[in-house]
Structure 1
Amino acid sequence: MSEGISQPDRPQVREGDTPDLFSKFDDLIAMREGLLASGQEDPFNLVMEKVLSPTRAICNGRDTILLGTYNYMGMTFDPDVVAAGKQALADFGSGTTGSRVLNGTYQGHRECEDALREFYAMDHAMVFSTGYLANLGIISTIAGKGDYIVLDIDSHASIWDGCAMGKAEVVPFKHNDVEAMEKRLRRIPEGAGKLVVLEGVYSMLGDIAPLKEMVAIAKKHGAMVLVDEAHSMGFIGENGRGVVEQAGVIDDVDFIIGTFSKSVGTVGGFCVSNHPKFEIMRLVCRPYVFTASLPPSVVATAATSIRKLMHGGNKRAHLWENSRRLHGGLKDLGFQLGTDDPQSAIVAVIMPDLARGAAMWEALLKEGLYVNLARPPATPANMTLLRCSLCAEHSAEEVETILGMFERAGKAVGII
């Protein structure tokens, strides 16, 4: 399942021994040490000494093209966004030092929620300190003991953690399998509370959910629906509202979760909803009530970015061009990809195993290209992936350069 929710088996402890609470990580420690023993650069500890733009940084002293940052719409260096953050920092200081329900709601937090309501054309918006906390908070609060959550087996770790925190009965189904989802819903006892949790774009392979069919089935069985649009907000749909908009079901879902750390280009999370009782969540949702609110500079950058994304049609079109070209080019070179056709801004390249995946990652880095190395158990079906996240600021020339880097590295490592 996605994003690594499984826990390793615990070793046997003999009577009289002092338990080593780190022993359960021994296999992972050995894997990491094995990768580094040959002089391999640590793929999970890369340092960017200087970020030059949304698409370039100095990594290990090398000018590097960034193809693994989730900066889909390239908003991190937008002049208006940066200026808004600087002004809020000067006007309101560096932080709120408080929760949203105490002293942590500034004018900027309200303005950010206003921007979200306008962006999605919804009645309610609630900003969290991270996208992880948004899923953790909303899911654990609305689905508790005695309720049922039906979710895709490849759901993000934050979704699984929200289920665990709320103590609802969790009923997973095979990834993107509409029939399997309906079978699970049929088995839930009559009268029980039901929540179906889906993602618009799944972050590992970059594939999209068949939301039109899934939402219709969920509603037929009386379930509420939550869709995580972290990897599609800003990019997919006519107005950038995500797969729910593209599939025509945005008015049928009960909750949309998203994050500011992808297309918005800063940090934070949110939930939007049209449910008439939604505002009570501000008083009962623990990950909202019991954590510090986002700094004023962060919500200022988020609000400015969200409002600009409302008019991001040209950027969306160019990002689709980049996605189609990279996907098609890698396929032509002989790489195995996570999807048959480009479905999002994520292009996943499947590696034969972890050792060759790590070698390919390092070869690309030496070429001057950064991608994500994703490994089990965070990946579906125990695959090793090189995950490429395109940006609307990548030029057509940069995409061609990237393809050349993949070709040289792939031949050098023996992948193609």
Structure 2
Amino acid sequence: MSEGISQPDRPQEMQGADHGAHADLFSKFDPLIQQREQLLAAGIEDPFSLVMEKVISPTRAICNGRDTILLGTYNYMGMTFDPDVIDAGVNALRDFGTGTTGSRVLNGTYQGHRDCEDALKEFYGMDHAMVFSTGYQANLGIISTIAGKGDYVVLDIDSHASIWDGCAMGKAEIVPFKHNDIEAMEKRLKRIPEGAGKLVVLEGVYSMLGDVAPLKEMVRVAKENGAMVLVDEAHSMGFIGENGRGVAEEQGVMDDVDFVIGTFSKSVGTVGGFCVSNHPKFEIMRLVCRPYVFTASLPPSVMATAATSIRKLMHGSNKRAHLWENSRTLHGGLKALGFALGTDTPQSAIIAVIMPDLERGAMMWEALLTEGLYVNLARPPATPANMTLLRCSLCAEHSEEEVQTILGMFERAGKAVGII
């Protein structure tokens, strides 16, 4: 012990530590560990440790040695195996190597990063675009940088974890409101002190239930109350809206949205995140946004695949139409079989099938995997209202025959487990 610190002045916790009474920092996870062990003890395969031994196409893979239809990958537009996208990545890998080994503000900006940002500006028709290493970092960085101490962030209670984490990191006052409730949002905005900085954060499509936000009304209310608006279009980019720009485009409010956040890991088919904006001061974000400044930039091969994919999505109207057809067919078929679904009508490429509880949800997940179908098992606290969901993500590359096969698999598994 260093001189000048007498024993009685030390914190109680430190005094206890001398006698071997160490707190286990992992003890907070014990309920979850126990829940997982109970599922595995019941003979159910771990739903969160599935290994794909070989990926054959955007819609099929070998899982546990078996040909499996993929219905839980967010590969909405099926771009992961597009020949032009793959060729662009291979060429960039050969020409620029495997990585940048640096941050965007130092040595990590290659020609491909600028080209990808240009592709985003073309796609969205906006003045500024900024690429992040992941979609999570895009929300974390933009929200925490523009909304700091003394500012207010008004957000939907069902917002993605990256949005909540961005609020926490920026130390702004967080004001949540009931999911998709315009009136509740307006009440919260009106209570914020006059003159305070205000940011409203919304999502176009919410990833758990696949439901769409009433952006037209919400953006109007936000603007009437002097707030800036950020919309996360991660799950709508590529297939919602006339040009695939998302729910803001479809509902006619693109010009009123200050920031659009998105990801490359869904419709674009690779990895990374971005923010586009028309704000005249936006470029300063490159110097003040910590999750952008203090992390390595994406490899040139990833940038080349993203830019090529984004430009192809500009001409993806036929793919979008087929994806909507798939969504309507699967939603209608599951409803007819008697499954409880997250939305009354198909609103996106996500269809959530509500399970009675986690145990039967895991049993149903395993029964579907045995049938040769992979879906996501989603559980609390990630899900709203403590629901257990089987989340289906359709792809534009799923054929009509595959969708019918999927319905047959759901029927057999649902009857076997006693869900229907």
TM over 0.5: yes
Q: What corresponds to 1:175 in structure 2?
A: 179
**Using the alignment, how far apart are the partners of 2:64 and 2:138 within structure 1?**
34
Aligned to 2:212, which of 202, 208, 214? 208
Query: Which letter does structure 1 place at the counterpart of 2:325?
Result: E
Aligned to 1:49, which of 39, 53, 75? 53
Matched, 1:135 2:139: yes
**Using the alignment, how far apart are the partners of 1:25 and 1:411 within structure 2?**
34
| 1:39 positional shift | 1.9
Aligned to 1:163, which of 164, 167, 178? 167
Please say if residues 228 and 256 of structure 1, whose CA atoms lie closer than 8 Å, have aligned partners that are also in contact.
yes
TM-score (norm 1): 0.97
Matched, 1:269 2:273: yes
Aligned to 1:396, which of 381, 394, 400? 400
| 1:40 positional shift | 1.0
**Using the alignment, how far apart are the partners of 2:380 and 2:255 within structure 1?**
36
More displaced 10-residue stretch of structure 1: 35-44 or 371-380: 35-44
Please say if residues 84 and 297 of structure 1, whose CA atoms lie closer than 8 Å, have aligned partners that are also in contact.
yes
**Using the alignment, how far apart are the partners of 1:80 and 1:36 within structure 2?**
43
| 1:38 positional shift | 2.0
Matched, 1:372 2:372: no
Q: What corresponds to 2:357 in structure 1?
A: 353
Aligned to 1:107, which of 92, 111, 124? 111
Matched, 1:291 2:326: no
Q: What corresponds to 1:5 in structure 2?
A: none
**Using the alignment, how far apart are the partners of 1:93 and 1:227 within structure 2?**
34
Query: Which letter does structure 2 place at the counterpart of 1:250?
Result: M
Aligned to 1:93, which of 90, 97, 103? 97
| 1:364 positional shift | 0.0
**Using the alignment, how far apart are the partners of 2:390 and 2:412 within structure 1?**
15
* 3-state SS of 2:189 partner: helix
Aligned to 1:121, which of 122, 125, 131? 125
**Using the alignment, how far apart are the partners of 2:400 and 2:35 within structure 1?**
38
**Using the alignment, how far apart are the partners of 2:15 and 2:117 within structure 1?**
55
Deviations 1:172-196 (A, max 9, x none): 0000000000000000000000000
Please say if residues 63 and 368 of structure 1, whose CA atoms lie closer than 8 Å, have aligned partners that are also in contact.
yes
RMSD: 1.1
**Using the alignment, how far apart are the partners of 1:158 and 1:60 within structure 2?**
32
Aligned to 2:153, which of 130, 149, 156? 149
Matched, 1:195 2:199: yes
| 1:14 positional shift | 12
Deviations 1:308-337 (A, max 9, x none): 000000000000000000000000000000
Aligned to 1:303, which of 292, 302, 307? 307
Q: What corresponds to 1:338 in structure 2?
A: 342
Q: What corresponds to 1:80 in structure 2?
A: 84
Q: What corresponds to 1:246 in structure 2?
A: 250
Query: Which letter does structure 2 place at the counterpart of 1:18?
Result: H
Please say if residues 13 and 19 of structure 1, whose CA atoms lie closer than 8 Å, have aligned partners that are also in contact.
no
**Using the alignment, how far apart are the partners of 1:357 and 1:131 within structure 2?**
28
| 1:371 positional shift | 0.1
Q: What corresponds to 2:286 in structure 1?
A: 282
Same amino acid, percent of matched pairs: 87
TM-score (norm 2): 0.96
Q: Which has the larger radius of gyration?
A: 2
The runs of at least 4 aligned residues of structure 1 exceeding 3 Å deviation read 12-16
**Using the alignment, how far apart are the partners of 2:174 and 2:255 within structure 1?**
25
Deviations 1:141-176 (A, max 9, x none): 000000000000000000000000000000000000
Structure 1: unaligned runs, 5 residues or longer? 1-11
**Using the alignment, how far apart are the partners of 1:86 and 1:160 within structure 2?**
36
Query: Which letter does structure 2 place at the counterpart of 1:221?
Result: N
